[in-house]
Structure 1
Amino acid sequence: MYKLNLYESVARYKERRSVLIKLNKLLKHWVNERYEKLTGTETVKQHFSAKIFTFGSYRLGIISPNSDIDALCVVPNFITRHEFFVQFKNYLERFDEITFIKSLPDAYTPIMKLTFSGIDIDLLLASLALQNVSINNILDNNILKFLDDKSARSINGCRVNEVMFRLIPNKAAFVTVARFIKYWAKVRGIYSNVMGYFGGVAWMILITKICQLNPDLLPNRLLEKFYEVYSDWKWPKAVKIFAVEDSIEEYGFRNYQSWNPRINTNDCSHLMPIITPAFPSMNTTHNVSHTTMQVIKQEFLFANEILKTDKSVNRWMKLVKPFCLEEKYNIILAIFVNADDQQSYSNWQGWVESKVRFLFKSIEEYEKCELRPFPHWFDIILNNWNFSCLLGIGVELKKSDSAECINLEKPIQEFLYFINKSNERVTYGDKVGLRIKIMSVEDFIGFTKIK
């Protein structure tokens, strides 16, 4: 895996730690400023007014050179979500070390993305029902008291990481396997929660399950077991690594509902449930559609077949051969996102990406084709726009069909209508654009190779 550049240098790791310390100081300073404006008094210095917790690959020790850091900003409840995603964002933009920043406050789990001294960070928010924040044990369920749903989803990432790490029997083997699986999922185009594939948490839970079932195996055998088990998994049977806790009937917990398809109607519709181990247990894969489920299943089967039939030393490299739309599909459904300025472009592209899955969900009912969304945006050059990018969705026609037969105009127009009537589209006006076009693979390659 060293050949794949999956390990970060010690110097780079120290840079990440330094950036997190600086960001934590900026957060505390901004929260103190907000408190002083609200009350006219200084914050009590012996209390921590805010704190940043890391989770994801950084917290689990599997960070790679190009990975971002997942972090949670825990703030007192006088900080509103609007203030954090608008005013704290404006505050950070004043610093030269921060070269990129965008907020997605309306996402299912609101997020702020930024680049600090060359290091990418994804920030979530949890606003606690306490004037002063001091957390000694992130696993204490009392930390969830009075939280709204979005804050509860945000803080759950840290809690899941801590519980999961304690449930792993062989942490060294887990780290090695996790590095490989994460890389494999990315190069094969099935690593994107927002696009309806599995996100980082889901992949880590899947790996933890295999480690629990095979606590004494070495990493290479764990990898074989991983593909063997999940290529034959009987979805929608849920993957769990810990018993699901029931709801806590106590004032302040807002009757948090743990994932339970026997009680909750919405949970019954989940196609590939992978359940978090910390209360309240949630399904990390609620975005998975029939389209992305089929793609994930195909990739599991494809990988398992390679490992079963090829015993050479090169089989691992065959496994991580990057997937290319143009190698399999003759028709591409292309989504063009455009903007006049960098800030509008960043925000607009991120918002459109969070909605794209609704397009191919509506196309799923079309019986003459199968889709393969590829979660990668290509920077392109278009006349009349300063910033443009392109997302491709592979279209595979069933036998006896041809490009002339395909008619996706209705779902495309419905999606464009949904986007153009949104508050985001109205806010940006003529500064941004969105276009969807069915094109040949040759035309698609022509666009993606321009820049």
Structure 2
Amino acid sequence: MKVTQQSLRSSLDQTLEKHKVKESDKGNAIRSGIVSTLTKEFTNWCSEGQVLTIGSYKLGVHSPDSDIDIVCLAPQRYTRQEFQTEFFTRLQSLPDVSYCYGIFRAKVPLIKLVINEIRIDLQYANTDQDIHNLRVEILEEATLLSLNAYRNNDMILTLVPNIESFKSMLRAVKIWAKKRGLYSGIFGFLGGAAWSLLAAKICILYPSLSEPELIYKFFKVYSMWDWSVPICLNPEQNSYAYPTYQGHMTILTPAYPSYNAAYTLTASSYYCIVQELELACKIVKDILEGNQEWQALFEEIDFFQQYRYLLKVTIHASSENDYETWSGLVFSRIKFLMQELEHMYPRPVVVFYNKPFEVVHKSYKVSYNYFIGLNFNFPQNVKVDLRMPIHNFCTVLNEQRPNKSGMSLRINFMPRKDLTYTKQFLRS
């Protein structure tokens, strides 16, 4: 079947539209209003302050379910402690805020908000320097990391030769990664920054290609990539100057100082991504030859058929707000459990499935099950005991509960054949 670039692009646009990868005009107006409200509130607190958007919103590739990521920038004299107390209190009093919680002990502290059902992550940076010409050695680490997120987004938009082609290709890559369970830094895969850098690299290498051709090149190049070689956007970035960044993959951010945006990868997630890149390359090749439709690229992974064993992670909370707080804490630590399981013998493949299943519990208002898939390569007569790492993980997390009477965590091991959710999920 003969296909043209025009027909491929048209069918791609139609398929992406079905997956709602673009925010509506109404949704964009709401988001713009939220940013304006936060800007007004922040500049009322700090007259010289700035509100800088970062992430998917800054790049123009946000979808209806995307967060808005923001850096609140203030002069040096406005301390982080003041931001986390005075400004935090102001946010809590805003009429449209339905959730407001501070995560202040993280490497990059932030305030999580929900306004008009849209999630916002607020970071803070304070410096008197020009943010485009920073003396990084005198900056607090959290300020540097927040400002670098903004600078990296700026550099991507500067280095990419065709912004609209980049956006279209990145939207396709993001929906593919989400459907295949590969999009989440917190669960050991690649986050939005890493996927954006990978997409930008392809656009820089092939500036004259159409969106369908760029998508094919994305999967072709990365399915064959030697991952001992870092991905760099800047030609002046010396790949061999970053030995400390070596991991399963090294995807370097362009702004100085560079960091590895793929630091979140585990051995299992690296294996999954490599396998999925190869499969996607074959699918897109068939699409370009007219043998398949674009929807074939965006089929959701059949997770429960991929893994013989499962860990059921049950998160209980007494309210929606408690659940937001408690699940956020559990998710921020879950990768440590997965990495500990990876180091058991025989070494399993351990993958988190980021799809919640709501359950009814008589003692808690909000309860969800999540699942971790495990595949072991061992003879039938070999027994594997996971009780100790699971018990230790649950004990530590339950001790850290902000509301000990209204939050609970349980993790149970089970063979796939014992899971009633499997049939329910497949039917859905």
Give TM class, smaller chain: 0.7 to 0.9
Query: Map of 1:163-242 to 2, 5 A cutoff?
Result: 163-242=155-234
How far does residue 82 in structure 1 lie from its aligned partner after superposition? 4.1
The DSSP-based 3-state class of the residue aligned with 1:392 is strand
**Please, which moves more after superposition, 317-326 or 376-385?**
376-385
2:403 paired with 1:428: yes
Match of 1:119 in 2: 118
Q: Alpha-carbon deviation of 1:92?
A: 1.5
Q: How many angstroms apart in 1 are the aligned matches of 2:21 and 2:203?
A: 21
Counterpart of 1:64?
63
1:243 CA displacement:
4.5
Which of 287, 299, 315 is 1:321 aligned to? 299
The verdict on how the C-alpha distance between 1:350 and 1:52 changes in structure 2, with shifts beyond 3 A counting, is same
1:395/1:388 Cα in 2 relative to 1: closer, same or farther (>3 Å)?
same
- 3-state SS of 1:141 partner: coil
Three-state SS of the structure 1 residue aligned to 2:371 is strand
2:286 is aligned with 1:294: no
Distance (Å, rounded) in 1 between the aligned partners of 2:387 and 2:284: 41
In structure 2, what is the Cα distance between the partners aligned to 1:193 and 1:5?
22
Q: 1:11 to 1:290 in 2, by over 3 A?
A: same
TM-aligned CA deviation for residue 438 of structure 1: 1.0
2: CA distance between counterparts of 1:409 and 1:363? 11
User: Conserved in 1, the CA contact under 8 Å of 2:286 and 2:292?
Assistant: no
1:335 to 301, 313, 317: 313
- Does residue 107 (structure 1) correspond to residue 106 (structure 2)? The answer is yes
CA distance in 1 between counterparts of 2:310 and 2:216 reads 33
Q: Could you say which residue in structure 2 is the equivalent of 1:348?
A: 326
Q: What stretches of structure 1 of length at least 5 have no aligned partner?
A: 33-47, 247-257
Q: Name the aligned partner's letter for residue 193 of structure 1.
A: G
Contact 2:317 2:323 in 1 (8 A): yes
Deviations 1:329-378 (A, max 9, x none): 34211111222233332111101101100001011122153222122333
What SS does the corresponding residue of 1:22 show, helix, strand or coil? helix
Q: In the TM superposition, what is the alpha-carbon distance from 1:259 to its structure 2 partner?
A: 9.8
The answer for the alignment partner of 1:276 in structure 2 is 253
316 and 22 in structure 1: CA distance in 2 versus 1, 3 angstrom threshold: same
**What is the SS of the residue equivalent to 1:222?**
helix
Measure, in 1, the Cα distance between the counterparts of 2:355 and 2:339.
18
Tell me the residue number matched to 1:45: none
Distance 1:312 1:306 in 2: 11
Matches within 5 A, 1:63-142: 63-128=62-127, 130=128, 138-142=131-135
- Name the CA shift for 1:244/1:382 in 2 (closer, same or farther; >3 Å): farther
SS of 1:393's partner is strand
Aligned partner of residue 350 in structure 1, secondary structure = helix
Normalised by the length of structure 1, the TM-score is 0.83
Q: Distance in 1 between matches of 2:415 and 2:197?
A: 38
The within-5 A match list for 1:379-394 is: 379-394=358-373
Cα distance in 2 for residues equivalent to 1:80 and 1:346: 27
Q: Secondary structure at the match of 1:293?
A: helix
**Whole-angstrom CA distance in 1 between matches of 2:160 and 2:197:** 10
Question: Are the aligned partners of 2:283 and 2:292 in contact in 1 as well (CA < 8 Å)?
Answer: no
* SS of corresponding position for 1:428: coil
Say if 1:368 and 1:406, in contact at 8 Å, map to a contact too.
Answer: no
Distance 1:78 1:443, change over 3 A: farther
Distance in 2 (alpha carbons) for counterparts of 1:11 and 1:391: 32
Please give the secondary structure, in 1, of the residue aligned with 2:167: helix
1:159 aligns with 2:137: no
Q: Is the 8 A contact 1:380 1:448 kept in 2?
A: no
1:79-131 Cα deviation digits (max 9, x unpaired)? 44344345533321222211223332233332322222233222221122x4x
Give the Cα separation in 2 of the matches to 1:353 and 1:110: 16
Equivalent residue pairs, number: 408
SS in 2 for 1:429: coil
AA aligned opposite 2:17: Y
Residue 415 to residue 172, structure 1, CA distance change in 2 (3 Å): same
- After superposition, where does 1:351-370 map in structure 2 within 5 Å? 351-366=329-344, 367=346, 369-370=348-349
Query: What CA distance in whole angstroms lies between the structure 2 residues aligned with 1:381 and 1:10?
Result: 37
**Cα distance, 1:245 vs. partner?**
6.5
User: Deviation of residue 299 (structure 1)?
Assistant: 1.3
Do 2:398 and 2:408's aligned partners in 1 also have CA atoms closer than 8 Å?
no
Q: Determine the structure 1 residue equivalent to 2:4.
A: none
Moved more, 215-224 or 320-329: 320-329
- With 428-437 and 208-217 compared, the bigger mean Cα shift is at 428-437
Residue 388 of structure 1 and its aligned partner are, at CA, apart by 1.8
CA distance in 2, matches of 1:195, 1:111: 19
Contact 1:196–1:285 (CA under 8 A) maintained in structure 2: no
- Tell me the SS of whatever aligns to 1:385: coil
